[in-house]
Chains A and B, each alone.
Chain A
């Protein structure tokens, strides 16, 4: 990013300056308010409107895919908070999805509770599992934590084979999607449920990020010693992040198997866990808007790679390898072009445009904190706050007599 203490040329062209002055009030009015709850509510409504328009204009299969994107957005949101904000790694989030999925299937099989209860219980059980894993995880440094969570992703599926009478073995269990009201297609209804859940979860996560817990997450990620001597319980904070993250994955898993109609461990291979991590980085680690890009990539990348391999007329085995490597190649390119992920890139372009249209909103900030953390890791939060800062200062400037 090219923020410099003085912005040469910013005041140079008089005509440009006039244009900016004319556009500035309008541009400022378009900004989101800084108060987190209001801000997130507005984003919620905007998102809901957008998805409504999107879903009613596409066919059943696209509705199914949009629902799937929403599900992955939930899982990636949790992962983004864990890795992007708290600095912990998990190669085993597929395992928490499995826990949520089986919980839902077992509840449907043995009880008659409603959908909301099923989803809540699935999320809670996965969160509890996350807390159990999180306690030892809080004591491990990232490489070892990656190992432990990897073992979880590898080991947990074996349970379903071991206790086939409970978990249905290889075949797994079946699930019934909720009946659609009226003439609505079941796919669309389910997609709406999944989208609603995704928006609610992301708003909750966004509020969490802006709360004192979010600050504690980042403090622990940045400097554990400084956090501890400031009175933050480091281990508890890490376990909390893991719990929240696993709960999101559990809810995602439960919602996903409502679409597929069946739960078996084949639905959640190890590659899914790794794909989740890659998609999260692709979208922009720590960014709750970026999760949508990651989710889109997760859902559409296999389709795209298949059509690419057909286009190149490759054999079936080559096509399968291509599918696996395709995501890797896309990720590498994305990281070369924009290390802060897709969302980081968009923000960068947006800031550039903003500056050309609206001009510096107040005294130029050298080394704008919205850019990224000093180690080059992307930070949605820093971006949000930089925007907030600008708005705060504007408000003050305007209220001054």
Chain B
């Protein structure tokens, strides 16, 4: 599905990503872990076209996505859920969701897609005519994920969805994510600081350190290897 090969990104003289390679598969959650400044957000921003890479390639279903504009990557079915709950605060909940349906959903089906999202997040339905600025943190996160799902994506790129959420809401969010990614359907790349909850749902984990992939393994390995956890994840 997503194939990243030798990806390097530079911010001036700083190497944000250095020769990163990994794969994301349909129906699987690949989590990207690492400390602050390890390059996790940069990785996602590069994959969604917001940052230009310096070397290497990323391809989605055989189509090269590095060098493409963000909206054209979104059109392919890669939905980026930006960090910090990027809702369009001035639009209503409903409008935010409808915004997501513009690119990949046919006119007649848009209403149905939005209704599907309300099925999944009933709280959003109750507040659908409120401006997104009035939502709580957890609701905003639901809305952003909802908007990303409204694109009918094939791959979700999630940037720290648990940031600032309570443990219960985080757990619910992870469970939802797990429900969404099954079979050979939606795949996800999950960037997280909260390694414990990310590992609890992920199928594959990579750890970034100073822009390099230092570990790539099954989540079970982290459970088994205390040294590894202490060294890179701090618990």
* A223 in complex: contacting residue of B75, B89, B134, CB < 8 Å: B89
* B88 in complex: contacting residue of A219, A231, A393, CB < 8 Å: A219
By beta carbon, the residue of chain B nearest A231 is B103
CB atoms of A231 and B82 under 8 A apart: no
* A219 in complex: contacting residue of B79, B91, B104, CB < 8 Å: B91
With A212-B102, A230-B147, A374-B133 already in contact, the answer to whether A218 and B88 are too (CB < 8 A) is yes
Q: Does B48 contact A (CB under 8 A)?
A: yes
Q: Give the number of residues in A that approach B within 8 Å (Cβ atoms).
A: 32
* A234 in complex: contacting residue of B71, B102, B129, CB < 8 Å: B71
Interface residues of A in 229-273 (CB under 8 A from B): 229-234
Query: Tally of A-B residue pairs with Cβ under 8 A?
Result: 101
Nearest Cβ on chain B to A377's Cβ, whole angstroms: 8
CB atoms of B80 and A229 under 8 A apart: yes
By beta carbon, the residue of chain A nearest B93 is A369
Q: Does A225 contact B (CB under 8 A)?
A: yes
Residues in chain A near residue B87, CB distance under 8 A: 223, 226
With A221-B90, A231-B151 already in contact, the answer to whether A365 and B99 are too (CB < 8 A) is no
* A228 in complex: contacting residue of B50, B89, B134, CB < 8 Å: B50
Residues in chain B near residue A225, CB distance under 8 A: 50, 82, 86
CB atoms of A232 and B102 under 8 A apart: yes
Q: Using an 8 Å CB-CB cutoff, how does the interface string of B153-183 with A read, 1 for contact, 0 for none?
A: 0000000000000000000000000000000
CB atoms of A229 and B82 under 8 A apart: yes
Residues in chain A near residue B5, CB distance under 8 A: none
11 new A-B contacts, CB < 8 A, other than A228-B50, A233-B71, A369-B131, are: A216-B102, A223-B87, A226-B144, A229-B79, A230-B147, A230-B151, A231-B74, A231-B75, A233-B69, A369-B129, A389-B129
By beta carbon, the residue of chain B nearest A392 is B129
Indicate the size class of the contact surface on chain B: 35 or more
List residues of B whose CB falls within 8 A of some A CB. Answer: 48-50, 69-71, 74-75, 79-82, 86-92, 95, 98-100, 102-104, 129-131, 133-134, 144, 147-148, 151
Residues in chain A near residue B104, CB distance under 8 A: 231
Query: In the complex, A222 Cα to B98 Cα: how many Å?
Result: 16
Query: In the complex, A226 Cα to B99 Cα: how many Å?
Result: 10
Q: Does A367 contact B (CB under 8 A)?
A: yes
CB atoms of A367 and B80 under 8 A apart: no
CB atoms of B130 and A369 under 8 A apart: yes
Nearest Cβ on chain A to B141's Cβ, whole angstroms: 13
Q: Does A48 contact B (CB under 8 A)?
A: no
Residues in chain A near residue B131, CB distance under 8 A: 367, 369, 373-374, 382
Residues in chain A near residue B144, CB distance under 8 A: 226
Residues in chain B near residue A222, CB distance under 8 A: 88-91
* B90 in complex: contacting residue of A216, A229, A379, A392, CB < 8 Å: A379
CB atoms of A373 and B90 under 8 A apart: yes
Residues in chain B near residue A229, CB distance under 8 A: 48, 50, 70, 74, 79-82, 86, 148
By beta carbon, the residue of chain B nearest A237 is B71
Query: In the complex, A223 Cα to B71 Cα: how many Å?
Result: 14
CB atoms of B99 and A230 under 8 A apart: yes
Nearest Cβ on chain A to B211's Cβ, whole angstroms: 21
Residues in chain A near residue B79, CB distance under 8 A: 229
List of 9 A-B pairs having minimum Cβ-Cβ separation, nearest first? A231-B103, A369-B131, A226-B86, A231-B74, A389-B129, A228-B70, A229-B80, A374-B133, A367-B134
Query: In the complex, A330 Cα to B130 Cα: how many Å?
Result: 34
Q: Does A178 contact B (CB under 8 A)?
A: no
Nearest Cβ on chain B to A287's Cβ, whole angstroms: 14
Q: Does A366 contact B (CB under 8 A)?
A: yes
Q: Does A348 contact B (CB under 8 A)?
A: no
Q: Does A385 contact B (CB under 8 A)?
A: yes
Query: In the complex, A232 Cα to B150 Cα: how many Å?
Result: 14
Query: In the complex, A318 Cα to B49 Cα: how many Å?
Result: 57
CB atoms of A226 and B82 under 8 A apart: yes
